[in-house]
Amino acid sequence: QQNRYIKRDKDDRKTADKVLDKRTAMIIHKYINNEDISGVYGCISTGKEANVYYCASEKYGPCALKIYKTSTMVFKDRDKYVTGDYKFRHGYAKHNSRKKILVWAEKEFSNLHKLYSAGLRVPEPLKLRSHLLLMRFLGHEQDPAPLLKDLKMSSKVATELYWSLVLDMWTMYRVCRLVHADLSEFNLLVNDGQIFIIDVSQSVTPEHPHAIDFLKKDCFNITEFFRKKGAQTVGFKDLFLFIVDKSISHENKDECFVKLKQKAAARDPNLTNEEKVDEEVFKGAFIPQNLGQVVDFERDYYEMKMGQRHSDDLDYQPIIGMAPDLSSAATVPRILHGPESHTN
Ligand code: ADP
Ligand code: MG
């Protein structure tokens, strides 16, 4: 009765011991007593912030149990993800490390719910008890689904996975109102040829003061990864603009998506120097998230009116939802504007 969770070998035991403090063991027993799981078996992953174990369950079938670690140090550098979060307006730093991991577990659980309810491919969240999160296992038999980074793929498969992820990123931002904030080939699993998003404890809402920077980084990571795999991608700036453009709605999304694909097909994967510089500049550029943050709106408006400026130079225009000439709310997405009149 005492040793119902089996550790596979000595190595597992070593790492397991680190995370299986008394409190954790107690909660595992609760899971078992409640018949949510019948036992904890092999370790799927040991990470900096959490370990993930394979569990059997009569109720749910194969599950993954993510156990967040209590160590203080790792969580220090995560504080930036909760600044500006309404829930922590009275201060988050005051929380001790024990409370902090509860916050991360809770965040991951509720974010998984948001994504899962929107029909996105994420592990189904099943139960949360303290810092132990139970979710659906992704994989076959006891073999966990491979991480995207470990998957061998043709450029054709890479292109397919890329476009399905592009749509998921759109839904994640526009429907679930979440920015992953750590999206890369390390947090994407491929199961039965489909791409799954995982590890969403640090995800933030668009109101977070760094949301736009996180999203830019996510777009950059994904674009670089798939470009190197030979997929036909758009530049990360175009991906970013597709996701944030407020005038893209459920109604015209498909049309915009087709345009985006056409843009990718017409693109030379070897970037010109000008394109490289443009992307570099965009990476470092400050992008206002609302009108209040625009430094000199009147100047931009005037210059636009006088034809001294082209709307493609103003990257905030689609984000705050203004028409290209800044005179009113946008109705037509930038990507659907006619052939580019822009001469550079
Ligand atoms: P962290 O990166 O914080 O350690 P993750 O949520 O990324 O935690 O999970 C760590 C690893 O565990 C993943 O890289 C993946 O290999 C595996 N994993 C996580 N969730 C599942 C799941 N539901 N099914 C199968 N494997 C999973
Ligand atoms: Mg991870």
Convert the pLDDT of each residue in 30-73 to its tens digit: 999 999 999 999 999 998 889 999 999 999 999 999 999 876 44
Q: Which ligand is nearest to the CA of 104?
A: 1
Domains of the chain and any CATH numbers? 39-144 (3.30.200.20), 148-290 (1.10.510.10)
Q: What is the mean pLDDT of the chain?
A: 85
Backbone torsions φ then ψ of 288, nearest 5 degrees: -65, 145
Backbone torsions φ then ψ of 15, nearest 5 degrees: -70, -35
- Which residues fall in the annotated binding site for ATP? 66, 138
Distance separating alpha carbons of residues 163 and 161, to the nearest angstrom: 6
Q: Which ligand is nearest to the CA of 182?
A: 2
196 in Cβ contact with 138 (< 8 Å) = yes
* Structure token pair of residue 185: 């080939």
Give the model confidence (pLDDT) of 119-135 as tens digits: 999 999 999 999 999 99
How far does CA 205 lie from the centroid of its chain? 11
CA–centroid distance, 156 to ligand 1, in Å, is 26
Best residue among 124, 198, 201 to mutate for probing ligand 1, ranked by most atoms within 8 Å of CB: 198
Bridge partners of residue 134, in order along the sequence: 65, 127
Mean pLDDT across 78-98: 63
CA–centroid distance, 133 to ligand 1, in Å, is 11
Highest mean pLDDT: which of 77-81, 87-91, 254-258?
254-258
Please give all residues whose beta carbon lies within 6 A of any atom in ligand 1, as ranges: 44-45, 47, 49-50, 52, 64, 66, 123, 135-139, 144-145, 147, 187, 198-199
Mean pLDDT across 219-237: 96
Is the pLDDT at 6 greater than 50? The verdict is no
Distance separating alpha carbons of residues 223 and 243, to the nearest angstrom: 13
How far does CA 290 lie from the centroid of its chain? 22
Going by alpha carbons, the residue nearest to atom 19 of ligand 1 is: 52
How far does CA 6 lie from the centroid of its chain? 33
**Residues, beta carbon < 5 Å, ion ligand 2:** 187, 199
Distance separating alpha carbons of residues 56 and 63, to the nearest angstrom: 6
pLDDT recorded at residue 329: 76
Q: Which ligand is nearest to the CA of 143?
A: 1
pLDDT recorded at residue 172: 98
CA–centroid distance, 50 to ligand 2, in Å, is 9
- Which pLDDT band holds residue 4 (cuts at 50, 70, 90)? very low
Mean pLDDT across 236-258: 95
Is the pLDDT at 204 greater than 80? The verdict is yes
CA dist 336 → 120, 245, 275, 301 (Å): 26, 11, 21, 22
CA dist 246 → 91, 164, 177, 331 (Å): 32, 20, 12, 9
